[in-house]
Each structure stands twice: as C-alpha cells, then as structure tokens.
Amino acid sequence: MQVANAVKFEVSKVVRVFDRSTVGVKVHDHAKFIKFLSASIAANPSAFKRGKANIVLPSESHDIVSSGFGERRNNERYYVLRNYRGAFGAYLRRRYALPVEVVSVIVYDVRTYLDDPNVYADETEHERIYSDGEISHVIMDVYAGPKVENIGLTYEQYVKGLAGEINPFIEGGSRDRLVTRDEAKAYIRFNQNYCSVAD
C-alpha cells in the first residue's frame, strides 16, 4: 500500500478509511497520513505490546482526516442511506461530522495480524498480504473525532468486548478482561447522542 522510512503498511480486510466513499472515519490525504503514522511509530517503538499498538498521531494530522461521528439530528434530510458491511442503515451526512480533536490508529505487526483468529483461516487474506513480502504492519482501525473516552465502537465491537473476545478499550486490544460497567455506560451515552457519518 504505502511505504515510509522502511515501514510498509497494508490495511486489514475490513478497513475502508482510504476509500473515496465510505462510512465513518475518512482519510483525505493517504501519503501524508502514512508519513505521520510511520514517524509516530519510529518515535515510540515501545508502543507495541504483543505485536499491537494504539498510535496517536500529531495534531498536524487532524486536517487530513474526517471525523467518523456527528451529533444526531431529528430530520431525515441530514441523513443518507448506505449499505455498510452487508446491512443498510441511515448515516449522518459527512458535512455534519464533529471536529477532529484526536486521531489514533490501531496497528498490528504483520505476523500478529495473520495469526489473528479472524484472519488465520482466511487463505485469500494470507495470499493478499504475502503477495507483497515487504508488508511489515497492518492498519486495523482509525479513530478520528472528539476527545471522549470509550467511544467510536460498532455494535459488533461492543458486543465482542462484553464477551471478552477482544477489548478495544485497552491499548492494543486485550483478551484477558471484559468491558467494565463504566465503559459500557460511556458507550451507551455516546451512541445516544452521536452517530456515524457517511459520504
């Protein structure tokens, strides 16, 4: 995908932040984004725990990324219908997205990604990654939006956290604890007031 300072990135099979039209967070300048990400990793190599890291990008990156969320509105004209991951839904028009106050990126090293249970048995995905033997890191998710803790999850991610399959609230992810009551309340509060945006 993109190379910067000998680090070569690819996106996971579900990440769509670089697409021309997408739901949620959107990156407007791919090359600059990769440069910011590579520099941030180089500046903090100890961020990776068990092959995973949550990398916070500098404030200079805010102008090249669109927030994935906006405040809910009561009029249908503010929304568009989109088919996202196999399900139709109403999404706030991107022009109403909240300002970007923080940008963070979940990154796995390539071995950790290929060993992930959701990828391990996917031969097509292994072939995609191995087709370019120089891939070193995989972008798993990008958050861009307000500085609010424990938000920005899909319902699927939230349920997985409750089940202990993966806890996205912990830096780099974890499989050794469940989502806490306070984290669950924070998720519910946010999703009562805000929703995803789309092009």
- 6 pLDDT band, cuts 50/70/90, is low
Determine which of 29-33, 95-99, 192-196 has the lowest per-residue pLDDT on average: 192-196
Distance CA(172)–CA(35), nearest Å, equals 21
**β pairing state of 137-145 and 102-109:** antiparallel
- Let me know if residue 37 belongs to a domain: yes
Supply the range of the domain harboring residue 111: 2-149
What is Dmax (Cα atoms) for the chain?
Answer: 49
- Let me know if residue 90 belongs to a domain: yes
- Let me know if residue 85 belongs to a domain: yes
Give the three-state DSSP class for 34.
Answer: helix
- Let me know if residue 71 belongs to a domain: yes
- Let me know if residue 197 belongs to a domain: no
Q: What is the pTM of this model?
A: 0.80
pLDDT at 116: 86
- Let me know if residue 119 belongs to a domain: yes
Number of domains in the chain: 1
- Which whole number is the average pLDDT over 83-90? 89
pLDDT at 131 over 70: yes
Q: For the chain, how big is the Rg over CA atoms in Å?
A: 17
Distance CA(157)–CA(165), nearest Å, equals 9
pLDDT at 121: 86
- Which whole number is the average pLDDT over 150-159? 54
Among 69, 72, 74, which residue's Cα sits nearest to residue 94? 69
User: What is the rounded average pLDDT for all residues in the chain?
Assistant: 83
- Let me know if residue 52 belongs to a domain: yes
**Could you tell me if 198 and 91 are in contact, meaning their C-beta atoms sit under 8 angstroms apart?**
yes
**Could you tell me if 162 and 178 are in contact, meaning their C-beta atoms sit under 8 angstroms apart?**
yes
pLDDT at 171 over 50: no
* Of 167 and 120, the one with more pLDDT: 120
- Let me know if residue 179 belongs to a domain: no
